[in-house]
Amino acid sequence: MLKHLTAIAFLAASTHAMAQADMTLDGLAKKEPAAFSQMVKGHTLPAWIKSGGTGSPARTVKLGAEVYQVFSVCKPHDCAAERFAVLFSGDTGFYSGAKKLIPLLAEFAPRIYPGISSLQYLCARLKTAWDDVKVLSLHGRGGSAVPAVLEHRKVFALVGGAGGAQRICEELSEAGLGHVSVTVGERLSYPDERITEGTAEELSSRAFDPLCVLLVRNKNARPPCRTACLPDEAFLRWTGEGSTVPMTKAEVRAVSIAKLMLEPDSVAYDIGAGTGSVSVEMAGICTRGHVYAVECKPEAAALAERNKKRFGLSNLTVVEGAAPEACAPLPPPTHAFIGGTSGNMREVLEMLLAKNPAVRIVINLIALESIAEAMRCIETFGFGHTEVVQVSVAKAKKLGRYHLMNGQNPIMIITCEKDTAGPGQIQTEETEK
């Protein structure tokens, strides 16, 4: 039908109406009925053409010596060629809004045409491969790049917000990673594109465009440890006054955390956190969960905060205050480690069970009186599962040509849990049934 209309349109091309470049077919029918009738003479057209179809303005086409006015029109909501496009910047599979849009368009069988991502573009400009890059998005969300930089030789980060790139470089410097190489790409592919290279420490005082990307390279990166095995020397212990804060030693820490049976999405308390060594180790396991380090002494809480920043743990919160009161606003825990209660063992256990009757608890004790109090509480509260383990650790100390074993204080590790639910599960109506 369109071929017939196009051919006949030549017969009326001399009229004023046909010369109007913005004229549509239904507009021609309404405004210039005489010209429209001459054009379609001898042809039977559907009624919707006159009532208003979905059309585009006429365009002039010259074929040899002949000049034609070409109209395009289709039945509303019934056009096989009807299409619409949604444009996103970059690669549609790389932190793109297309991820949420595509399911909404499933009935239309959408086709996807990817562009060049900022990761591809920046690596191409730097003449480096990106198949070994760890990708992060810190645009519009919290989090830290420090854990990824510690574990991967190359880390690419999308950054958003004023001071975002500078803040990341500051965090890297605070975590002892000020020496790593950082490349910041601003307004990539635009005429005013800027690419800046330097160390994290050097760039921590620079200002960058709110929308930019970073490529961080750490040649000394190490794969992550999936168990509690950080050496004691990895943690800060000295306060500003020259004294040390008590810390659960590595061997006891490893056994205690193993007894907790943490999961990636666990919510854990560290009560009496001290330096935060146990908190740090737990946060490294609870990557999709959260750890709360509760400490009543200000100098110890400040030190735990420094160790948190040292390891770049966004899933660790230091709470200054005494348990159980300081735990009141916190979400229910699936697991709890008790390193000290300042004489409030009964109250702390009561609080934990009130928040989650199925909480799994591990308690570290040294004094005989504390052990006796803990066992009385466990009996009172009716813990169905209780395990008591004594750990004695001795470390070699060099004396001249010889190595002598120095014994540390024996530690009592008590694991307790009610039988109302599985390990570390939050009690619900379903578990009660």
Window from 130-134, 160-164, 174-178 with minimum mean pLDDT: 160-164
Mean pLDDT of 388-410: 90
pLDDT value of position 355: 96
Going by DSSP bridges, is the β-strand pair 394-399/402-407 parallel, antiparallel, or unpaired?
antiparallel
Task: Domain 232-432: give its CATH code.
Answer: 3.40.50.150
Instruction: Report the pLDDT value the prediction gives residue 279, as an integer from 0 to 100.
Output: 94
Decide if pLDDT at 90 tops 60: yes
Condensed to tens digits (0 to 9), the pLDDT of residues 101-148 reads 888 888 888 889 888 999 999 999 999 999 999 999 887 666 788 888
The answer to whether 118-217 and 232-432 have equal CATH topology is no
For residue 16, what pLDDT is reported?
44
Domain spanning 2-74: which superfamily? Inhibitor of vertebrate lysozyme (3.40.1420.10)
User: Distances in Å between the alpha carbon of 148 and those of 25, 134, 211, 311, 356?
Assistant: 61, 7, 21, 10, 32
Question: Between 24 and 384, whose confidence is greater?
Answer: 384
CA distance 362 to 160: 41
Please give the Cα distance from 343 to 363 (Å, whole number): 13
CA 299 to chain CA mean position, Å: 31
Q: Which residues of 414-431 are buried (b: 16+ CB within 10 A; e: fewer)?
A: bbbbbeebeebbbbeeee
pLDDT confidence of residue 119: 94
Least-confidence region, from 45-54, 215-224, 324-333: 45-54
More confident residue, 309 or 423: 309
The pLDDT score that the predictor gives to residue 430 is: 45
Strands, E assignment, 330-410? 335-338, 360-365, 385-391, 394-399, 402-407
- SS3 state of residue 343: coil
Average confidence score pLDDT of the chain: 83
pLDDT at 244: 77
pLDDT of 20 higher than 70: no
Mean pLDDT over 96-102 rounds to 87
Rounded to whole angstroms, the Cα distance separating 290 from 269 reads 9
Q: Is the pLDDT of residue 79 over 60?
A: no
- Class in CATH terms, 118-217: alpha beta
Q: How far is it, in rounded angstroms, from Cα 96 to Cα 152?
A: 24
State how far the Cα of 35 lies from the Cα of 129, in Å rounded to an integer: 64
Q: What mean pLDDT comes out for the span 7-35? A: 58
pLDDT for 203-233, tens place per residue?
A: 999 999 888 999 999 998 876 555 557 888 8
**268 pLDDT above the threshold of 80:** yes
Percentage, residues of the chain above pLDDT 70: 85
**Domain spans in the chain, listed from the N-terminal domain onward:** 2-74, 118-217, 232-432
Q: Where are the alpha helices (DSSP H) in 228-367?
A: 250-260, 277-285, 298-310, 345-355
The whole model's pTM is what?
A: 0.56
Q: Is the pLDDT of residue 242 over 60?
A: yes
Cα–Cα distance, 349 to 103 (Å, whole number): 47
